Amino acid sequence: MADNRLIYLPLGGAGEVGMNAYVYGYGPEGAERLILVDLGVTFPNMDTTPGVDLIFPDLSWLLERVDQLEAIIITHGHEDHIGALGHFWERLGAPVYARKFTGALAARKLDEHGGDMGAVQVVGPWPDMSQLGPFKVSFLPVSHSIPESSAIVIDTPAGRIIHTGDFKLDGSPVVGEPFDADLWREVVGQGVKTLVCDSTNVMVGHPGRSEEVVGPAIQDLVRKAKGMVVATTFASNVARVKTLADAATAAGRSVCLLGRAMKRMITVAQETGVLTDFPSTVSPEEAQQIPRENLMLLSTGSQGERRAATAQLARGKYLGLEMKEGDLFLFSSKTIPGNERGVLQIVNSFSEMGVDVVDDSAGIYHVSGHANGPDLEALHDLVKPEMLVPMHGEHRMLRRHAKLAADKGIATEIATNGTMLDLTGKTPDVVEYIESSRTYLDGAVKIGALDGVVRDRIRLALNGHIMVTLIIDEDDEPLGEPWAEVMGLPETGLSNTALVEIIEAEVDQMLGRAADKILTDDKALDDSIRRIVRQTCMSEIGKKPEVTVVVSRLA
């Protein structure tokens, strides 16, 4: 009988922040029974993924092994942990395990994509356990920036794994469960083989702060404000939304929620019981009737997302509401690297309106949801694992986290997406590299990151596009003149003549000189036209555009 082994394979989230997807397996090599922890997305940008709607992990490896998959486990409801669930559940076909609030969000994801909401198994926290093939799995509460976040205790025949999910050490998280060190001590008491641990904030050198510290600062700010107050944060940060709403109430202001995500999150949090005593809110229509100094709007779009409520307010009216001179806008959030340009554009638009913008540069209106370096060390010391595998972070973060562990004599290994570790023994051993890329949602279609579609779009954006059409008659001679169309290029170049005319003339001349064997050979003709177009553009406009040649033969 083959030896059983315990494997760990990140398909997303290891080597990046976002797009979490981690596979655990136990059984004979190649026939392990599998569970998937989290199934998140990451977001596109113009630099690398123009026109793409969402980015998923490349699940090819797992999709070839769906018969081995016991379950999908969701640690918490952030998009980078749950966002791909609806898009892949049908093909994965496994039950989805989550706690109540997360489960409600998961069920919505399935429903939106025609999946079976009944596939979601809502389970209680530790000490509740679910038997999933060779695994016994339990949800161990942690604090984070969304309610009901959980670490996953994975008991295997080879020992206990704790997969932290996203977490911080917060004893007073305002909404949801505090981090309970005593509970954790109970769980780790019998020994933990492997701690698979969040690395997002490992580079931050000071201990993290509790969610409760932002309340007084925000209350003070809102109380002193004269005009309308608008605040933005992640809608899923239910604790922060409550802190903001409470500050409004304390200052005698009505609360209005702007943006679909904001309303949905509060509704789900209330329905599932994680949020109680949230102030009553007014609709945008009602808000228009309330004096500005008695009003506070809570809006989506803290990252500058173009379609969200905040960006719309920055462009003008949104649902009849409008910022004015003397109003206050609060970013109760941190700008995620890469989003700076969009956020600053909004700040400057508000500035032009005479709105005072307050962000978290003072460090008092926002706290992170992730454990900082010293907090991670505290967790290492609490859990005392035999091995530590850093996950969820860019390579520099995984590396720093591995170093923290190694300095304490804990066996560790950096495993980025596609790196399979064998955790059976005393050290994490790399046993295989899986080809692992990314999958893009592009409109309604899933495309592979490496299949060239997006590369072509980037080329179009950098170089512009020239199309040349030509008709070749029955005698293999050009019929009439070639025709050029230009998109994304200057109309005229250095010679001050229309670029298309110059190209048409150059192609025409080339055709006049061309030997029969070129005119009769589609490939040769295409190459020749392409070359002359690019040469002409180089001398006329100093760049080489993308060229498409269409030759129609009247045969």
One-letter amino acid for residue 538 of the chain: M
Stretch that binds its own copies, among 74-82, 130-138, 141-149, 354-362 (CB under 8 A): 354-362
**How far, CA to CA in Å, does 478 sit from each of 42, 475, 504, 511, 548?**
50, 9, 13, 8, 18
One-letter amino acid for residue 66 of the chain: V
For residue 372, give the DSSP letter.
B
Q: How far apart are CA 393 and CA 409, in angstroms?
A: 22
Of 63 and 554, CB closest to its own copies: 554
According to DSSP, the residues that pair with 433 across neighbouring strands are 419
Instruction: Give the residue, chosen from 118, 189, 320, 445, that forms a contact with its own copies under the rule CB under 8 A.
Output: 445
Instruction: Give the residue, chosen from 181, 487, 517, 531, that forms a contact with its own copies under the rule CB under 8 A.
Output: 487
The two tokens of residue 98 are: 């989550």
Instruction: Give the residue, chosen from 117, 158, 378, 460, that forms a contact with its own copies under the rule CB under 8 A.
Output: 460
Three-state secondary-structure class, residue 390: strand
Confirm or reject binding of residue 338 to its own copies (CB under 8 A): yes
Minimum Å distance from CB 433 to its own copies? 14
Of 28 and 50, CB closest to its own copies: 50
Phi, psi at 113, each rounded to 5°? -110, 20
Three-state secondary-structure class, residue 310: helix
Torsion of CA 336, 339, 344, 345, to 10 degrees: -150
Instruction: Give the residue, chosen from 187, 261, 489, 519, that forms a contact with its own copies under the rule CB under 8 A.
Output: 489
Minimum Å distance from CB 348 to its own copies? 4
Region 409-438 residues binding its own copies, contact defined as CB under 8 A: none
Three-state secondary-structure class, residue 479: strand
Of 121 and 345, CB closest to its own copies: 345
Confirm or reject binding of residue 348 to its own copies (CB under 8 A): yes
Minimum Å distance from CB 437 to its own copies? 16
Confirm or reject binding of residue 541 to its own copies (CB under 8 A): yes
Instruction: Give the residue, chosen from 28, 30, 46, 433, that forms a contact with its own copies under the rule CB under 8 A.
Output: 46
Confirm or reject binding of residue 500 to its own copies (CB under 8 A): no
Confirm or reject binding of residue 475 to its own copies (CB under 8 A): no
Q: How far apart are CA 439 and CA 23, in angstroms?
A: 17
Stretch that binds its own copies, among 129-137, 239-247, 491-499, 514-522 (CB under 8 A): 491-499
Instruction: Give the residue, chosen from 31, 63, 213, 550, that forms a contact with its own copies under the rule CB under 8 A.
Output: 550
Confirm or reject binding of residue 341 to its own copies (CB under 8 A): yes
Site string for its own copies, 295-334 (x = CB under 8 A): ----------------------------------------
Confirm or reject binding of residue 498 to its own copies (CB under 8 A): no
Confirm or reject binding of residue 84 to its own copies (CB under 8 A): no
Minimum Å distance from CB 337 to its own copies? 4
Cite the beta strand spans of 173-310 per DSSP E. Answer: 194-198, 229-232, 254-258, 281-282, 295-299
Confirm or reject binding of residue 363 to its own copies (CB under 8 A): no
Minimum Å distance from CB 350 to its own copies? 8
For residue 140, give the DSSP letter.
E
Of 17 and 23, CB closest to its own copies: 17
Confirm or reject binding of residue 203 to its own copies (CB under 8 A): yes
The two tokens of residue 303 are: 């990252």
CA atoms within 13 A on the CB side of 520: 5
Q: What residues contact 381, with CB distance under 8 A and at least 6 apart?
A: none
Q: How far apart are CA 264 and CA 270, in angstroms?
A: 10
Minimum Å distance from CB 522 to its own copies? 13
The two tokens of residue 397 are: 């973060």
Stretch that binds its own copies, among 1-9, 136-144, 226-234, 546-554 (CB under 8 A): 546-554
The two tokens of residue 330 are: 């609060």
Site string for its own copies, 5-44 (x = CB under 8 A): ----------x-----------------------------
Under 8 Å between Cβ of 499 and 505 = no
Confirm or reject binding of residue 454 to its own copies (CB under 8 A): yes
Q: How far apart are CA 107 and CA 91, in angstroms?
A: 16
Instruction: Give the residue, chosen from 64, 289, 444, 513, that forms a contact with its own copies under the rule CB under 8 A.
Output: 444
Under 8 Å between Cβ of 32 and 7 = yes
Minimum Å distance from CB 545 to its own copies? 9
Q: How far apart are CA 106 and CA 73, in angstroms?
A: 10
Under 8 Å between Cβ of 12 and 43 = no
Q: Give the distance, in angstroms, between the CA of residue 301 and the centroid of all CA atoms in the same chain.
A: 14
Strands 54-57 and 438-442: antiparallel
The two tokens of residue 252 are: 């005698």
Cite the beta strand spans of 339-494 per DSSP E. Answer: 356-358, 387-391, 393-394, 411-412, 419-422, 429-433, 438-442, 445-448, 465-472, 478-487
Of 316 and 443, CB closest to its own copies: 443
Of 255 and 537, CB closest to its own copies: 537
Instruction: Give the residue, chosen from 340, 432, 501, 522, that forms a contact with its own copies under the rule CB under 8 A.
Output: 340
One-letter amino acid for residue 366 of the chain: H
Of 31 and 487, CB closest to its own copies: 487
Confirm or reject binding of residue 65 to its own copies (CB under 8 A): no
Three-state secondary-structure class, residue 239: helix
Site string for its own copies, 214-253 (x = CB under 8 A): ----------------------------------------
Is the bond preceding residue 125 a cis peptide, omega within 30 degrees?
A: no
Summarize as ranges the residues that interact with its own copies (CB under 8 A).
15, 45-47, 50-51, 203, 205, 337-338, 340-342, 344, 347-348, 350-352, 357, 361-362, 394-396, 398-399, 442-445, 447, 453-454, 456-458, 460-465, 467, 469, 471, 479-480, 483, 485, 487-490, 492-494, 540-543, 546, 548, 550, 552, 554
